[in-house]
């Protein structure tokens, strides 16, 4: 209000001046005066309305936006507002009451916290938040610390195909030719690149780690191979012209379908019903058509031939059979054979001779002898029997075929044993499936054979192999055993485990290998040496030593020995024997050893004092009892290491010159001395390890790429945060977290927005 007051004060002298002027001119003209007065008054009003507060000096009370800031300095009391509240008719009584209660209250609010305290609280909260945020890295960091090898930079360019844009991104057209080409391409809107990978694929590649990707790739490859294999198989099958084969296949299909149908009845009756309906439909169609009724041109021609030709007769029979099958009524769905009633009408349509008993009696098909009219009265069971019998006959044929195939396959296998053996169990499974597979195999082999024929070298090689190869089956098993063993051996070698070989050997000897169903012969050989050793233990070392030692030929020693050389050698040895005739080295050695053993043993301490407790003097010996009592036997020394090694002396004294090179204290990361020893014992060099093992063992801990900048870890390296699925009591907290996360995301997305937020804070 103060500002407003000022304005009025400024205005008031002006007004007075105007009015006084008008009074001076009173005498001249009344009306004109009056008009002027009115004008003055009106103008006064106008001016007053138009008058704006101008900002002439710095002050808080003047608003920036040329709005009169009247009343800014004044305090608004609650009572003022409440007064208006009372007068307003719209306000509900309830709120009025509440306000009155508030007014009457005498309690004061607590003082807000001091600035220092609020800041401290703010800091604490912020610190907790940031330390929690930082803790997300803990898993990654510990992982890196434990890692055997770290490869920097952390984010390597992903292997695999790159999209053209990525390759081209850093490249610019430099030479005029390139520029021209590019301008042409651009002007014609030609696609400069065709994307190798769709964005979805790329995302998936990014999402996968290398190993995962490898596994996936392997799976894909397998699937692709399988697919192509099946496609090829299908193609081959389609090409097969053999009618017999197709017939067999069809039959197998029908059989399979029946089986399936049986199962369906148990599991899914509705589906079975539908199938039944389908069958019914096909039956109806069959009944309508003349397709299998031996009324066509072919059938007629066959009918002429049938009297003399068995094959034709059979073919016609089959046709009829088909018709019968198709027109059989399906009354009881639970029966697997849906033939109950025969149609006599159809049989009537047949020529008579077809139904005549055949000259060659088929014992398997007894019904063939009977007439169709008789069949009409036959019960279901026989029908079923005939059906099965028929099938059996067919199966016999199939089996023949199979046997043939089998024989052929074996022959092939003998020839080229590099083929993958077909699993034998399949034979006992579905006949049809087996058929298909075997045929395909056969064809495979044929193709291969062709290839063999084409390449002379291969055939030569094959012949060689044939001549050298052992019968396939035993060889295979042998190979398997060898593989098993090999694995074991490899494991022993490659394991950077501590007690590599010895432990395994011990394991073998102590436990009969539980996993191996067929004990490998080589295993036995490995377990043999210790037994021999045990036997040796019983032998007197002297005997062994005095015997002439066997000359052991080392595998690396030159093994080509000429006879002349032998003679020379014999001479030499004779000379040497003569020269050292007097020396008995071996007995010397034995004496030496015995001496050392004695020195190692603690002596008996005799503490008997003659004369104590009994008479003493010359010629008197302390009593036996006493002597026994006071002779102290030292505890037996620990067993010598060379106890069972007759030709070795192992000194167990500490050697100071060696001690210089020995570790006196157990180094830090090791828990006990055996750990450390085993670590040292295991060689890492190329001399003792295969190339791959060597490479693995000597892999450096940190690998950097030459000339590559190693960027600090970034948030992309962080594993994705698992959302805590809190329910019930934790709901609100989770919500809060979610909100926080969202805000974080928003911050990351939009830094500008973040700044705004900060400024608001």
| CA angle, 55 then 57 then 58, to 5° | 100
Give the residue with the Cβ less far from other proteins, 130 or 516. Answer: 130
Which of 61, 130, 373, 516: binder of other proteins (CB under 8 A)? Answer: 130
Nearest to 526, CA basis, from 539, 510, 541: 510
Give the CB-side neighbour count of residue 310, counting CA atoms within 13 A: 6
Between residue 684 and residue 703, which ones bind other proteins under the rule CB under 8 A?
684-690, 694-695, 697-700, 702
Strands 702-704, 631-632: pairing kind? unpaired
- Burial per residue of 731-760, b for 16 or more beta-carbon CB atoms within 10 angstroms, e otherwise: eeeeeeeeeeeeeeeeeeeeeeeeeeeeee
How many other CB atoms are found less than 10 A from the CB of residue 316? Answer: 21
Give the residue with the Cβ less far from other proteins, 460 or 679. Answer: 679
- Least distance CB 516 / other proteins (angstroms): 23
Give the residue with the Cβ less far from other proteins, 310 or 487. Answer: 487
Between residue 504 and residue 563, which ones bind other proteins under the rule CB under 8 A?
554-556, 559-561, 563
Between residue 132 and residue 151, which ones bind other proteins under the rule CB under 8 A?
133-135, 137, 141, 144, 150
How many other CB atoms are found less than 10 A from the CB of residue 70? Answer: 16
Residues that contact other proteins, how many (by CB under 8 A): 71
Give the residue with the Cβ less far from other proteins, 591 or 695. Answer: 695
Give the residue with the Cβ less far from other proteins, 319 or 689. Answer: 689
Nearest to 190, CA basis, from 198, 180, 182, 200: 182
Which region, judged by CB under 8 A, interacts with other proteins, from 122-130, 166-174, 409-417, 641-649?
122-130
Which region, judged by CB under 8 A, interacts with other proteins, from 407-415, 573-581, 591-599, 705-713?
705-713
- Least distance CB 642 / other proteins (angstroms): 16
Give the residue with the Cβ less far from other proteins, 235 or 715. Answer: 715
- Contact between 379 and other proteins by CB under 8 A: the answer reads no
Show the binding pattern over residues 154-183: x = contacts other proteins (CB under 8 A), - = does not: ------------------------------
Phi and psi angles of residue 631, each rounded to the nearest 5 degrees, phi first: -90, 115
Tokens of 471: 């019968």
d(CA 321, CA 156): 71
Phi and psi angles of residue 551, each rounded to the nearest 5 degrees, phi first: -85, 115
Alpha helix segments (H runs only) across 379-496: 380-415, 431-454, 456-468, 472-494
Nearest to 402, CA basis, from 426, 438, 366: 438
d(CA 385, CA 393): 12
d(CA 494, CA 342): 75
How many other CB atoms are found less than 10 A from the CB of residue 294? Answer: 22
Per DSSP, the three-state class of 605 is strand
- Least distance CB 132 / other proteins (angstroms): 9
- Least distance CB 747 / other proteins (angstroms): 7
- Least distance CB 58 / other proteins (angstroms): 21
Nearest to 193, CA basis, from 210, 208, 171, 211: 171
Nearest to 526, CA basis, from 541, 507, 505: 505
d(CA 729, CA 81): 42
Give the residue with the Cβ less far from other proteins, 90 or 712. Answer: 712
Show the binding pattern over residues 715-734: x = contacts other proteins (CB under 8 A), - = does not: x-------------------
Nearest to 488, CA basis, from 468, 504, 503: 504
Which of 89, 379, 707, 728: binder of other proteins (CB under 8 A)? Answer: 707
DSSP, res 591 = H
- Contact between 761 and other proteins by CB under 8 A: the answer reads yes
Distance (Å) of CA 83 to CA 79, 80, 87, 95, 401? 6, 5, 7, 13, 112
Give the CB-side neighbour count of residue 118, counting CA atoms within 13 A: 5
Distance (Å) of CA 228 to CA 216, 225, 551? 18, 5, 63
Which region, judged by CB under 8 A, interacts with other proteins, from 57-65, 167-175, 423-431, 752-760?
752-760
Give the residue with the Cβ less far from other proteins, 127 or 298. Answer: 127
Give the residue with the Cβ less far from other proteins, 515 or 556. Answer: 556
Show the binding pattern over residues 81-120: x = contacts other proteins (CB under 8 A), - = does not: --------------------------------------xx
Give the residue with the Cβ less far from other proteins, 152 or 245. Answer: 152
Give the residue with the Cβ less far from other proteins, 61 or 503. Answer: 503
- Contact between 34 and other proteins by CB under 8 A: the answer reads no
In DSSP terms, 631 is beta-bridged to 606
Between residue 460 and residue 499, which ones bind other proteins under the rule CB under 8 A?
493
- Least distance CB 448 / other proteins (angstroms): 30
End-to-end CA distance of the chain: 32
Tokens of 230: 């099946």
Which of 200, 454, 706, 727: binder of other proteins (CB under 8 A)? Answer: 706
Between residue 649 and residue 688, which ones bind other proteins under the rule CB under 8 A?
660-664, 667, 676, 679-681, 683-688
Which of 420, 709, 721, 727: binder of other proteins (CB under 8 A)? Answer: 709
Give the residue with the Cβ less far from other proteins, 227 or 698. Answer: 698
Give the residue with the Cβ less far from other proteins, 140 or 419. Answer: 140
Give the residue with the Cβ less far from other proteins, 500 or 586. Answer: 500
Strands 150-152, 631-632: pairing kind? unpaired
- Least distance CB 698 / other proteins (angstroms): 4
d(CA 188, CA 333): 70
The DSSP result for 652-714, as a single string, is -S--HHHHTTS--S--TT-SSHHHHHHHHHS--STTTS-HHHHHHHT--SEEE-TT---PPP-
Which of 170, 379, 471, 712: binder of other proteins (CB under 8 A)? Answer: 712
- Least distance CB 609 / other proteins (angstroms): 49
- Least distance CB 488 / other proteins (angstroms): 15
Give the residue with the Cβ less far from other proteins, 420 or 702. Answer: 702
- Least distance CB 713 / other proteins (angstroms): 5
- Least distance CB 527 / other proteins (angstroms): 16
Between residue 347 and residue 366, which ones bind other proteins under the rule CB under 8 A?
none
């Amino acid at each position: 209000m103060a500002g407003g007051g000022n304005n009025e004060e400024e205005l008031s002298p002006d007004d007075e001046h105007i009015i006084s002027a008008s009074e001076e001119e009173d005498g001249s003209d009344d009306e004109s005066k009056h008009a002027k007065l009115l004008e003055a008054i009106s103008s006064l009003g106008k001016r007053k309305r138009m008058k704006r507060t101008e900002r002439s000096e710095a002050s808080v009370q003047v608003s920036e936006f040329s709005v009169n800031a009247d009343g800014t300095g004044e305090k608004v009391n609650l009572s003022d507002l409440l007064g208006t509240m009372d007068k307003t008719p719209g306000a509900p009584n309830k709120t009025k009451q509440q306000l009155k209660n508030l007014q009457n209250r005498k309690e004061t609010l607590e003082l807000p916290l001091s600035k220092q305290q609020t800041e401290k609280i703010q800091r604490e909260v912020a610190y907790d938040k940031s330390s929690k945020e930082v803790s997300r890295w803990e898993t990654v960091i510990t992982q890196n610390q434990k890692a055997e090898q770290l490869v920097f930079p952390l984010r390597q360019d992903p292997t695999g195909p790159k999209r053209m844009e990525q390759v081209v991104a850093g490249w610019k057209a430099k030479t005029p030719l390139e520029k021209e080409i590019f301008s042409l391409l651009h002007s014609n809107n030609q696609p400069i690149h065709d994307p190798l990978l769709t964005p979805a694929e790329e995302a998936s590649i990014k999402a996968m780690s290398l190993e995962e990707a490898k596994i996936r790739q392997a799976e894909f490859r397998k699937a692709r191979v399988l697919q192509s294999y099946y496609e090829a198989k299908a193609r081959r099958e389609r090409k097969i012209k053999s009618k017999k084969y197709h017939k067999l296949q069809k039959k197998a299909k029908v059989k399979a379908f029946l089986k399936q149908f049986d199962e369906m009845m148990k599991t899914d009756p509705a589906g079975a019903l539908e199938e039944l309906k389908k069958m019914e439909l096909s039956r109806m169609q069959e009944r309508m058509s003349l397709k299998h009724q031996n009324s066509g041109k072919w059938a007629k021609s066959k009918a002429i031939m049938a009297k003399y030709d068995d094959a034709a007769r059979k073919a016609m029979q089959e046709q009829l059979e088909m018709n019968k099958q198709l027109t059989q009524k399906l009354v009881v769905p639970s029966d697997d054979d849906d033939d109950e009633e025969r149609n006599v009408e159809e049989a009537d349509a047949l020529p008579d001779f077809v139904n005549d008993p055949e000259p060659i009696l088929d014992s398997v098909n007894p019904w063939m002898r009977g007439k169709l009219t008789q069949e009409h009265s036959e019960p279901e069971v026989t029908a079923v029997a005939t059906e099965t019998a028929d099938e059996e006959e067919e199966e016999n044929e199939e089996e023949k075929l199979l046997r043939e195939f089998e024989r052929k396959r074996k022959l092939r296998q003998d020839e080229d044993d590099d083929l993958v053996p077909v699993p034998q169990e399949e034979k006992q499974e579905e006949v049809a499936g087996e058929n298909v597979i075997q045929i395909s195999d056969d064809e495979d082999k044929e193709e291969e054979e062709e290839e063999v024929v084409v390449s002379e070298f291969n055939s030569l090689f094959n012949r060689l192999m044939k001549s050298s190869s052992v019968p396939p089956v035993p060889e295979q098993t042998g190979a398997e055993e060898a593989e098993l063993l090999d694995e074991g051996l490899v494991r022993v070698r490659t394991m950077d485990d501590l007690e590599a070989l010895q432990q395994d050997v011990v394991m073998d000897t102590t436990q009969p290998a539980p996993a191996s169903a067929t004990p490998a012969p080589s295993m036995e050989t490995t377990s043999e040496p210790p037994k021999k050793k045990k036997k040796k233990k019983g032998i007197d070392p002297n005997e062994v030593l005095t015997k002439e030692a066997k000359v052991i030929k080392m595998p690396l020693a030159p093994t080509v020995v000429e006879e002349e050389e032998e003679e020379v050698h014999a001479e030499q040895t004779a000379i040497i024997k003569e020269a050292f005739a007097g020396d008995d080295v071996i007995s010397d050695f034995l004496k030496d050893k015995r001496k050392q053993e004695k020195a190692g043993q603690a002596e008996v301490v005799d503490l008997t004092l003659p004369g104590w407790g009994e008479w003493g003097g010359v010629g008197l010996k302390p009593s036996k009892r006493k002597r026994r009592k006071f002779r102290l036997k030292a505890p037996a020394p620990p067993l010598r290491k060379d106890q069972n090694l007759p030709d070795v002396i192992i000194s167990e004294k500490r050697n100071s010159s060696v001690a210089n090179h020995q570790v006196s204290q157990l180094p830090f990361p090791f828990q006990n001395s055996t750990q450390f020893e085993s670590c040292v014992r295991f060689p890492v060099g190329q001399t003792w390890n295969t190339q791959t093992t060597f490479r693995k063992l000597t892999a450096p801990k940190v690998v950097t790429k030459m000339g590559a900048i190693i960027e600090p870890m970034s948030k992309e390296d962080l594993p994705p945060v698992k959302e805590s699925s809190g329910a019930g009591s934790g709901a609100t907290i989770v919500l809060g977290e979610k909100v926080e996360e969202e805000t974080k995301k928003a911050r990351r997305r939009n830094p500008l927005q973040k700044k705004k937020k900060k400024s608001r804070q």
